[in-house]
A and B are shown apart, each in its own frame.
Chain A
Amino acid sequence: MEEKIISKQNLVKLCADIIGGGHILIAPGKTEYVVTQDASQIVLDTQSKPTKASYKTFVFPKAEPVLYYKRGKNDVQILDAGPEQKKTVIIGAKPCDTNSFNILSKVFNWDYKDDFYNYRVKNFIVIGMMCEFSDRYCFCTSVGSSPVSEKGSDIFLIPLDADNFAVRIVTDKGKEFIDAYSKYLTDGNPSKSKEVSEKVKHPEVAFDSKQVHDWLAKNFEHPKWDGVGDMCLSCAQCAFVCPVCHCFDIVDEDYSYTEGRRMKNWDGCQFGHFTLHASGHNPRDIQGKRYRQRVNHKFKYYVDKFGEILCTGCGRCSRGCAVSIDIKEIVANCKD
């Protein structure tokens, strides 16, 4: 598609216009993606470390009411809840984050459609940016992405020099969005940005996901799972910072004697009580089984069902793990 150029000063103006237009603007902050009110504070650095958590909370909030209720004597009244319909723009998203909506949309729409998610995504503009960060935990190239992948971005930025970004318009949605700000753009030269993007160092490919899938199909029972399970502490840090982990819980919470709301909250498969039946029976009673579920869900079940790996290779789960469990290393060792 088309390519334009924007200067850094104009990018700040564009961001200020987005905020001024009443839209929500999200940008990478020091450690998190944050909603920003001040365009001049936005720092777009291709070498920055991925934020601690992904930005999935903006389309799939960590806690979200799905309905409100009022109890009468015998009666109940249900009041609808729904996401705020506000245009949201994220700028400077890493390619390992941008692909997340493509992956998540599958499970939220494969049969029943989760409009809480869909309505937010519909109002979401993703401005991705090339990435030049890499550490021992990165493995985007092993799951079909790359530091210059435009997958999932509506618009993609590539820094041309100290003052200018190439603006690649990836989707129709992106075009429609950026057209409103065309005064800040000048015509681009795709060969220049291509030259830059081709020079970006890619993380080494750590594993062949197809081979991993086939190994998992044959090794549901394997001593490896207990080995990692014994070291894992059963928190859900890995799931909650993940751009594509989507398991949730539905709980009711009263806020008075007669009123309350039903919440859809993040949940994690590494918690022991995640699959605990009321009878006390637990199909995944030890941590090894739960870790097996995590790896299988990402690299086998989701692939079988939806044709996508449930992983973007961002490495957040490993980077944040208190006991340094490295999913890349574990998956790379899923071979005979």
Chain B
Amino acid sequence: MEELRKLAKELLENKTVAAVLGYVEIEPKRTKPIVITNPEDAEKLVFNEYCLNNLAVYLTKARIKNLAKQNGSVLKLGIVAKPCDIHAIIALIQESQLKREDVYIIGMNCGGVAKDFGLEYGADTLASKCVPCETHKPLYSDTTLGAEKETPKVSDEVLDKIRALEKMTYVERFAYFKKEFDKCIKCYACRAACPLCYCQRCITDKTIPRWIESSPHSRGNFSWNVVRAFHLSGRCIGCGECERACPMDIPLSLLNRRMTETAKEAFAYVSGRSLETPTLVGSFDVKDSDELFM
């Protein structure tokens, strides 16, 4: 923690970064995002198992980006990031939303985070996204901090759930998701919390023509949630923020995770893992198999 605060303070003081996106503790086992521009505030920063947010979502926000512009020069934005958050940053760079030199990644070694604030951290309360996690060390960073950790070992519950879904017939699966989507209230917290839902104007806000019905009834909820899953297939880095943000507990990760699996099986591609690899959609090849779509 001390090394994090010291680094953030230095970076702000020597004007390497204009701001640091990080976490602040509001009570034990509970943090919230914070943007620090004053070096004195660096001592507020924390990193622990309750740093649930993926702060990469802020990197595409206009007013946060503007912080980097200072007196005619453009500084970097510092960001405290878990390895999975870094996947999102890489995906944003892959998709040209960000340049590598725009960010100073303070990568944190991570052994997983809790499911929710206030819970005693352990194998039983591990966030479901952490269960299948393979990257406990940042793939990319400007500085990596913290001791290397292992995730508590638990059964592969997310994959089990996906497998359970796959065992269902189409009819059963449809019924399952209909029930889940019926809970949707169209608050778009999933979209807001997603680092890769950065469209200036989301398709659901477009009215001429209206592609996605805005009504939160079955049909409108299907059109929204399914279209979002499609838009994220091969792009989702699996940070699980959509599911955490959902006030109605819709298991959005199941859907996104399935799309990720599909992309991996068909194209051996996982989003946000390599700066050298073009995006899946951006690397279309005529020799690609059509099987997936036929």
Contacts and interface: CB of A to CB of B under 8 A. Distances in A.
Contacts of B215: 63, 251, 253, 263, 265
Interface in B110-125: 117
Given A230-B63, A235-B188, A324-B32, A63 B216 contact: yes
Contacts of B266: none
Interface string A236-258: 11011100000001010100000
A57 B216 CA distance: 12
A106 interface: no
Interface stretch (A72-80, A182-190, A217-225, A266-274): A266-274
Interface stretch (B134-142, B148-156, B227-235, B245-253): B245-253
Interface string B13-32: 00000000000001100111
8 contacts: A233-B57, A237-B187, A240-B186, A241-B187, A265-B215, A268-B187, A287-B63, A324-B32
Interface stretch (B88-96, B162-170, B189-197): B189-197
A273 B205 contact: yes
Determine the interface band of chain A, counting residues with CB < 8 A from chain B.
35 or more
B273 interface: no
Contacts of A57: 185
Given A62-B185, A63-B220, A266-B186, A322 B241 contact: yes
Interface of B: 26-27, 30-35, 53, 57, 61, 63-64, 117, 183, 185-189, 191-193, 205, 210, 213-217, 220, 241, 244-245, 247-249
Nearest to A322: B245
Nearest to A320: B247
Contacts of A43: none
Contacts, number: 97
Given A230-B63, A237-B187, A263-B215, 5 more contacts: A229-B63, A231-B35, A239-B187, A322-B192, A323-B193
Interface of A: 31-32, 52-53, 57, 62-63, 136, 226, 229-231, 233-237, 239-241, 249, 251, 253, 263, 265-266, 268, 271, 273, 286-287, 320, 322-326
Nearest to A273: B205
Nearest to A57: B185
Contact of A265 (B32, B192, B214): B214
A241 B216 contact: no
Nearest to A264: B215
Contacts of B191: 235
B216 A237 contact: no
A237 B35 contact: no
A8 B75 CA distance: 66
- Name, among B30, B61, B63, B187, the residue most crowded by chain A CB atoms within 10 Å (CB to CB): B187
A63 B185 CA distance: 9
A66 to B, nearest CB: 12
